[in-house]
Amino acid sequence: MTGEILLKTVLGGALITLFAIFFGLIFKGIDRKIVARMQMRVGPPIRQPFLDVIKLMNKETVVPENAIKWIYHASAIVCLASSAIILLYIPIAGIEPLLHGHGDIILIIYIFIISALAMVVGGFSSSSPFATVGAQREMITMASYEFPLAVVIIAIAWKLSEEIGGDVFSVYHIAQNPLWNSVGLLGFIGLLILLFAIVVVTPGELAKIPFDVAEAETEIAQGLLVEYSGRNLAMFYIADGVRTFAMASLITALFFPYNISPLLKNYISLGDFAIVTDFLFFLLKVFLIILFSVTLVRAGMARLRITQVVTTYWITITLIALFGLVLLMWDNQLDIPLPWVG
């Protein structure tokens, strides 16, 4: 029985990894195309990320003379592996995740940190001054966005413990009990504020404009990855797409876990296609989250200075997230019903 569970976990993990890589690169291509169109450019084809990966895989991997070679190579592998592992804990289209248990949402946050730390360690190990500056900036950025992200997670878990109980730090449990169904007017506004906070955290978590100070091409020549090439760079490139998909999937599970098949069943008979419609609806939600948290932001904003990144996350977004938490706390005390319900 143990061997069967292990085999299921290994095969399931491999399939989810391939799934994450494919859709991570697809959404990366769509993102680039939309940004190009918004900037009055034609842009690359949507398949371009796949072509980039194939080209990089066929290129020679050049290792800097003074690099710590084993760390230099291992960092890319750890970054990609940790990014893919995240999706093993996140329910996709309402399906129970392959791995889940008590406190897995805390584990997910730590795994996100591992993938970022892998880039930091890789940057330091390359012995490049540009990469060193980029690694320092990435550590500062990490320390900045983790606080508001933690506030959002704690607020959701606290409210869930008040209303429903159970394993409130399990992503699957949170997805099975959407808070939108359990709050009044103040709680609804509080959830919207928390959603805004985590959407602003997303580009920082993914090192996207305006929070891509660790990779600033015009300042530090790609920063963290300046000395990477060939297969190692390809793995970092793939990991970026997988991390983007994983972060959007996490937001979907926390705030928009609903499936569309129960609604469609009132009008048409779906039968065995219910899971297909839910899966497509899940991909639509992920795309919309990426669109609003990454694509539109990087198309319309310029890069912030490192001091502005710290101020934005530690002060502005943290205070906004704390205000959302306070509204969730007041929701029980004041008990103001939603005006459009009953």
Average pLDDT of the segment spanning 54-60:
89
* 8 confidence band (pLDDT: 50, 70, 90): confident
Does the pLDDT of residue 244 top 90, yes or no?
yes
Cis upstream peptide for 148 (omega within 30°): no
Greater pLDDT, 31 or 101: 31
pLDDT tens, position by position, 289-299:
999 999 998 88
Segments forming the whole domain that contains residue 142: 56-334
Does the pLDDT of residue 56 top 70, yes or no?
yes
Residue 248: inside a domain = yes
Residue 283: inside a domain = yes
pLDDT tens, position by position, 193-239:
999 999 999 998 888 878 877 776 666 666 678 888 889 889 999 99
Residue 50: inside a domain = no
Residue 281: inside a domain = yes
pLDDT tens, position by position, 104-143:
899 999 899 898 889 888 888 887 887 888 788 888 888 8
Average pLDDT of the segment spanning 155-178:
88
CA separation for the pair 80, 242 (Å, rounded): 8
Does the pLDDT of residue 1 top 80, yes or no?
no
Average pLDDT of the segment spanning 159-183:
87
Average pLDDT of the segment spanning 263-281:
79
Greater pLDDT, 274 or 257: 257
Residue 106: inside a domain = yes
Residue 342: inside a domain = no
CA separation for the pair 40, 192 (Å, rounded): 32
Average pLDDT of the segment spanning 1-13:
74
Residue 256 is predicted with a pLDDT of 92
* 183 confidence band (pLDDT: 50, 70, 90): confident
pLDDT tens, position by position, 302-326:
778 888 888 989 899 999 999 999 9
pLDDT exceeding 90 applies to what percent of the chain? 33
Residue 78: inside a domain = yes
Give the chain's domain count.
Answer: 1
State the SS3 of the chain: CHHHHHHHHHHHHHHHHHHHHHHHHHHHHHHHHHHHHHCCCCCCCCCHHHHHHHHHHCCCCCCCCCCCHHHHHHHHHHHHHHHHHHHHHCCECCECCCCCCCCHHHHHHHHHHHHHHHHHHHHHHCCCHHHHHHHHHHHHHHHHHHHHHHHHHHHHHHHHHHHCCCCCCCHHHHHHCCHHHCCCHHHHHHHHHHHHHHHHHHHHHCCCCCCCHHHCHHHHCCHHHCCCCHHHHHHHHHHHHHHHHHHHHHHHHHHCCCCCHHHHCCCCCCHHHHHHHHHHHHHHHHHHHHHHHHHHHHHHCCCCCHHHHHHHHHHHHHHHHHHHHHHHHHHHHHCCCCCCCC
Q: What is each CA distance from 89 to 82, 167, 234, in whole angstroms? A: 12, 14, 25
Q: What average pLDDT does the chain have?
A: 86
Residue 9: inside a domain = no
pLDDT exceeding 70 applies to what percent of the chain? 95
pLDDT tens, position by position, 20-35:
999 999 999 999 999 9
Residue 126 is predicted with a pLDDT of 81
If 0-12 CB within 10 Å is exposed, 13-18 middle and 19+ buried, where does residue 192 land?
Answer: middle
Residue 168 is predicted with a pLDDT of 86
Does the pLDDT of residue 58 top 70, yes or no?
yes
